[in-house]
Amino acid sequence: MKLAGFLLLLAGWLIVLSTLALLHSASAQTIFLLAGIAVECLGLALVVRAHLVLSEARE
């Protein structure tokens, strides 16, 4: 789960980079940039969840 979360973080960043390189209209850039950040948020949530499970297991 942790690895998947970090991969999602990277994937979100790559969406942001691709948006800059491939799209030129401001509205399309905004939408895809926000989509990239949303993917990153999902990844962050997964990483946080993985560490919560780990800390519960430690207890």
Partner 1 sequence: MTSLGFSESSAAFCFLLILLVPLAGAGLTLINTGLGRSRSAAHAMVASLGVIGVAAIVYVAWGFSLEGVAGRPAHVILGGGKPWNWIASEPLCLRGVQFDGSPVSLSVLLQIFAVGLAALVPLSAGADRWRLGASCASTVLLAGITYPLFGHWVWGGGWLAQLGVNYGLAHGFVDGGGASCIQVVGGLTALSIAWLVGPRRGKYSHDGMPAAIPGHNVVFVLFGCLLAWLGWIALNSAGAILFAEVEPGRAALVAINTTLFAASAALTAAVITRSRFGRPDASLSANGWMAGLVASSAPAAFVKPAASIVIGAIAGGITILAIEAFESWLAVDDPGGAISVHAVSGIWGLLAVALFADFGDKSGNSGQWLAQLVGIATLLGFVLPLTYSLNWTLNRFYPQRVDLEGERQGMDLHELGAGAYPEFVVHSDEFIQR
User: What is the contact surface with partner 1 in residues (CB under 8 A)?
Assistant: 6, 9-14, 16-17, 20-22, 26, 29-30, 33-34, 36-37, 40, 43-44, 48, 51-52, 55-56, 58-59
* Spatial CA neighbour of 43 closest among 15, 51, 17, 2: 2
- Kindly state the smallest distance separating residue 56's Cβ from partner 1, in Å: 7
Contact 23, 32 (CB under 8 A): yes
- Kindly state the smallest distance separating residue 23's Cβ from partner 1, in Å: 9
- Kindly state the smallest distance separating residue 10's Cβ from partner 1, in Å: 6
* Spatial CA neighbour of 19 closest among 6, 36, 7: 36
